Homo-oligomer: A and B are copies of this chain.
Amino acid sequence: MFSDTFSPRFTDTDALGHINNTLVPVWFEGARDNIFKMFTPDLDVNNWQLILAKIDVTFHAQMHYGTEMEVKTYISRIGNSSFDVHQELWQKNQKCASGTAVMVHFCFKQQKAQVISEEIINKMKSHMLIESKL
């Protein structure tokens, strides 16, 4: 599991007084830096290896400005060329949102999916979501 902590910003709130829902996909993408580095260790944008196929986010509780947040990032499925990233947003010991991103190892030059190497699969395995936690 990867853990990222940060403080939400005033601009992230909306007129209902809480954090707006559209920030969660932004924060989840930010926390996937840990996954991007498995494929592009120096995060060089000219050597990008991944595309995003699908996301879902479930909202469990209201999120608030003024309190630190944590995004927990797990690998939840490893396929041939695609894999799932399970992420949870926690604030004050409460799971506020959770979701899955389906990512594909992709060659931009050839414009097609690529098999994930053994080396990367081994990195992923140390960050697997243990099923009983779901």
Contacts and interface: CB of A to CB of B under 8 A. Distances in A.
Secondary structure class of chain A's binding surface, majority of residues? mixed
A7 B4 CA distance: 11
A57 B58 contact: no
Interface size class of A (residues with CB under 8 A): 35 or more
Nearest to A54: B58
Given A21-B52, A56-B54, A16 B29 contact: no
A6 B9 contact: no
A26 B9 CA distance: 8
Interface of A: 6-7, 9-11, 13-18, 20-22, 25-26, 29-30, 33, 36, 42-46, 48, 51-59, 65-66, 108
